[in-house]
Homo-oligomer: A and B are copies of this chain.
C-alpha cells in the first residue's frame, strides 16, 4: 500500500484524492487515503466511487500547514496526516508515501518514524531539474546542508540507482557539481568526493559546471543540499518568469503580440515540461520506504505521477539495490 497524505497540499484535498484514485485504478496499486475520514468519505461519495480492495481510508485529525515550522509542528501535531502516513510505514502497513505538503515537515516526520536503510549515512532528496535535453536528477536537492564526502558519494550511488531503475536510464552518467571541470577545482569536500567517485565502477564523468546542468550534460548531478536547493529554485523560477521577460519587451507592439499569441502553445508546452509540479515531486531516498514529496501546488496529475513513482520504487526494490551497490563499492557504513 502507498499512503497518500490528502490534506497537506495547497490545493483542496479533492484533487489529491482524485489523483490517488486514478492511480489505484489505472496502476492497480493499493492506496491509503490519509486525512479527515468524514471529509474523504464524502468526497468518495461525491465522486460516486465504488469501494474496492485497492482503496482504504485512514483518519488523521490534524494537518500541518505549508508555512508551519517543521520540527515544532511535527512534535505538537502527533496526529497530523503526514505523521499518520509515516506511522503506517513504521507499522509495516504502507511501503511508501506521497505527500503534497510542507517539504520540511515531511522530512521531519519521515526521519522521526521511518528507519534509515542499513548502511546509509544520510537520507537524501532527489529532484528532477529541467535541461535542454529533457530532465536530469539533482541529488541532494535540499535535505542535507552540511555534507561530508562520504554522504555525497552515497548520494551519487542512490541517484544512479534511481536513474537506472525509475527513469530506466542505462548506465546513467554522474557529474559532480563544481566551479570548474578540472579535477583540482572546488572546496575540500568536493575534492574529496571527486576522489572517491573517480575510483568506483560508475559512469562518473567528473566535475560539471553550472552551464552543464542546463545543457543536460549528465543524468545525475551530485551536490550538497545547500547548493542543490538554491540551483533548483533559481532554475524553476527563471523558466516560470521567462515569458514575463519577453513580455516586458513586447509591450505594445501589435505584431509582436500576435506573434506571442501564435507561439503560445509552444510556450505552454515548454512551461509544462519545466514545471516542477508536472514531475510528481522530489523523491526521498535512503529511508526504509519509497517516498515522494509532491510540490505544494500538486494537482490530480501530480498526485497520480507521484504515486506512480513511489510504486515503481517499491516494485523495483530500489532499497535492496542501493544496499547491494553500497556493499559492492565498500561504501556501506
Q: Which residues of B contact A238 (CB under 8 A)?
A: 214, 235, 238-239
Q: How far is the CA of A265 from the CA of B250 in the complex (A)?
A: 8
Q: Which residues of B contact A239 (CB under 8 A)?
A: 238, 242, 245
A231 touches B256 (CB 8 A): no
Q: Does A27 interact with chain B (Cβ within 8 Å)? A: no
Q: Does A261 interact with chain B (Cβ within 8 Å)? A: yes
Q: How far is the CA of A258 from the CA of B264 in the complex (A)?
A: 12
A237 touches B210 (CB 8 A): yes
Q: Which residue from B210, B229, B241 sits with its C-beta under 8 Å from A234?
A: B210
Q: Which residues of B contact A226 (CB under 8 A)?
A: 179, 186-187, 190, 227
B211 touches A132 (CB 8 A): no
Identical copies of this chain, number: 2
**A145-B179, A210-B234 are contacts. A262–B256 as well, Cβ < 8 Å?**
yes
Q: Which residues of B contact A281 (CB under 8 A)?
A: none
Q: Does A266 interact with chain B (Cβ within 8 Å)? A: yes
Q: Which residue from B188, B211, B232, B269 sits with its C-beta under 8 Å from A249?
A: B269
Q: Which of A179, A182, A236, A244 has the most CB atoms of chain B within a 10 A radius of its CB? A: A179
Q: Does A76 interact with chain B (Cβ within 8 Å)? A: no
B234 touches A179 (CB 8 A): no
Q: How far is the CA of A215 from the CA of B241 in the complex (A)?
A: 8
One digit per residue, 1 when the CB lies within 8 angstroms of any chain B CB and 0 when it does not, for chain A 47-81 equals 00000000000000000000001000000000000
B-contacting residues, A126-159, CB 8 Å:
132, 142, 145-146
- We find that the number of chain A residues with CB closer than 8 angstroms to chain B is 58
Q: How far is the CA of A117 from the CA of B296 in the complex (A)?
A: 47
A253 touches B241 (CB 8 A): no
CB distance from A136 to the nearest CB of B (A): 12
Q: Which residues of B contact A267 (CB under 8 A)?
A: 246, 249
CB distance from A333 to the nearest CB of B (A): 22
- 9 further A-B pairs in the complex, CB-CB below 8 A; given A179-B229, A248-B270: A146-B187, A187-B226, A211-B233, A227-B230, A249-B265, A249-B270, A250-B266, A259-B260, A259-B264
A residues in contact (CB < 8 Å) with B: 69, 132, 142, 145-146, 177-179, 182, 186-188, 190, 209-211, 213-215, 225-227, 229-239, 241-242, 244-246, 248-250, 253, 255-256, 258-267, 269-270, 273-274
Q: Which 10 A-B pairs have the closest CB atoms?
A: A259-B262, A210-B233, A249-B266, A259-B263, A214-B237, A210-B234, A210-B230, A179-B229, A259-B259, A249-B269
Instruction: Enumerate 30 A-B pairs (CB-CB under 8 Å) in ascending A order.
Output: A69-B182, A132-B244, A145-B186, A146-B188, A179-B225, A179-B229, A187-B226, A209-B230, A210-B234, A210-B236, A214-B241, A231-B231, A231-B234, A234-B234, A234-B235, A239-B245, A242-B242, A245-B274, A246-B266, A246-B267, A248-B270, A249-B266, A249-B267, A255-B262, A256-B265, A259-B261, A259-B262, A259-B264, A260-B266, A262-B262
